[in-house]
Amino acid sequence: MKIRFLFLLPLLVSLVPATPSLAAGDRFALIIGNSKYPDADAPLKEPLNDARDVADELKRDGFSVEIGENLTGDGMRRAFDKLYGKIKPGSVALVFFSGFGIQSARQSYLLPIDAQIWTESDVRRDGVSLETVLGELNTRGAGVKIALIDASRRNPFERRFRSFSAGLTPVIAPNGTLVMYSAALASVVSDAGGEHSLFVQELLKEIRVPDLMAEETLNRTKMGVTRASRGEQVPWISSSLAEDFSFIPGAAGSRPPPPPAPPPVVANNPPPAPPSPPQPPKPADTVAAPAPPPTPKPQVEAALPPPPPPVKPTETTPAPSMDSGPNPAVLAEDPTIKGLTAKIAANPDDVNALYRRGQVYASKGAYNLAIKDFDETLRINAKDVEALNNRCWTRTVIGDLQGALKDCNEALRLRPNFVDALDSRGLVNLKSGAAKNAIADFDAALRINPRLTSSLYGRGIAKQRNGSAQEGALDIANAKAMDPNIVQEFASYGVR
Can you give the pLDDT at residue 174?
86
148 within 8 A of 178, measured Cβ to Cβ: no
Lowest mean pLDDT among 51-65, 128-142, 352-366: 352-366
Task: In whole angstroms, give the CA distance from residue 48 to residue 69.
Answer: 7
Can you give the pLDDT at residue 278?
43
- Domain boundary pick from 250, 278, 295: 250
Can you give the pLDDT at residue 147?
97
Can you give the pLDDT at residue 459?
96
As a whole-number percent, the residues of the chain with pLDDT over 90 amount to 44
Residue 250: pLDDT band with limits 50, 70, 90: low
Residue 379, domain CATH: 1.25.40.10
Q: Is the domain of 333 the same as that of 220? A: no
Can you give the pLDDT at residue 324?
53
Q: List the one residue out of 132, 130, 140 whose CA is nearest residue 86.
A: 140
User: Tens digits of per-residue pLDDT, 51-96?
Assistant: 999 999 999 999 999 999 999 999 999 999 999 999 999 999 999 9
pLDDT top residue among 170 and 461 = 461
Is residue 335 in a domain?
Answer: yes
Question: What do you get for the CA distance between the two ends of the chain, in Å?
Answer: 16
- State yes or no: pLDDT of 150 exceeds 50: yes
Q: What is the mean pLDDT of residues 461-476?
A: 94
Q: What is the mean pLDDT of residues 216-234?
A: 90
- Domain with 34, as residue range(s), is 14-250
- State yes or no: pLDDT of 232 exceeds 90: no
Q: Is the domain of 229 the same as that of 321? A: no
pLDDT top residue among 352 and 68 = 68
pLDDT top residue among 78 and 125 = 78
pLDDT top residue among 460 and 9 = 460
Can you give the pLDDT at residue 379?
94
Lowest mean pLDDT among 50-54, 257-261, 421-425: 257-261
Q: What angle do CA 307, 310, 312 make, to 5 degrees?
A: 130
- State yes or no: pLDDT of 118 exceeds 70: yes
Q: Is the domain of 388 the same as that of 483? A: yes
Q: Is the domain of 84 the same as that of 164? A: yes
Residue 52, domain CATH: 3.40.50.1460
pLDDT top residue among 210 and 77 = 77
Can you give the pLDDT at residue 432?
94
- Domain boundary pick from 250, 265, 285: 250
Task: In whole angstroms, give the CA distance from residue 338 to residue 369.
Answer: 14
Q: What is the mean pLDDT of residues 346-361?
A: 87
Is residue 266 in a domain?
Answer: no
| Most confident of the following: 139-143, 184-188, 190-194 | 139-143
Is residue 140 in a domain?
Answer: yes
- State yes or no: pLDDT of 192 exceeds 70: no
Is residue 22 in a domain?
Answer: yes
Is residue 285 in a domain?
Answer: no
Q: What is the mean pLDDT of residues 115-139?
A: 87
Can you give the pLDDT at residue 193?
60
Residue 139: pLDDT band with limits 50, 70, 90: very high
Can you give the pLDDT at residue 435?
95
User: Tens digits of per-residue pLDDT, 379-420?
Assistant: 999 999 889 998 998 999 999 999 999 999 999 999 988 888
Residue 189: pLDDT band with limits 50, 70, 90: confident
pLDDT top residue among 225 and 304 = 225
Contacts of 319 (CB under 8 A, 6+ apart): 313, 397, 398, 399, 431, 493, 494
Q: List the one residue out of 442, 455, 443 whose CA is nearest residue 482.
A: 455
pTM (whole model) above 0.85: no
- Phi, then psi, of 165 in degrees rounded to 5: -110, 130
Q: Is the domain of 405 the same as that of 333? A: yes
- Give the H or E element holding residue 423: helix 419-432
Can you give the pLDDT at residue 279?
45
User: Tens digits of per-residue pLDDT, 17-26?
Assistant: 443 333 345 9
Task: In whole angstroms, give the CA distance from residue 336 to residue 343.
Answer: 11
Can you give the pLDDT at residue 244?
86
- The total domain count for the chain is 2
Is residue 263 in a domain?
Answer: no
Beta strand 177-181 with 144-150: parallel, antiparallel or unpaired?
parallel
pLDDT top residue among 195 and 255 = 195
Can you give the pLDDT at residue 334?
77
- Domain boundary pick from 227, 250, 273: 250
Residue 42: pLDDT band with limits 50, 70, 90: confident
- State yes or no: pLDDT of 15 exceeds 60: no
Q: What is the mean pLDDT of the chain?
A: 79
Is residue 370 in a domain?
Answer: yes
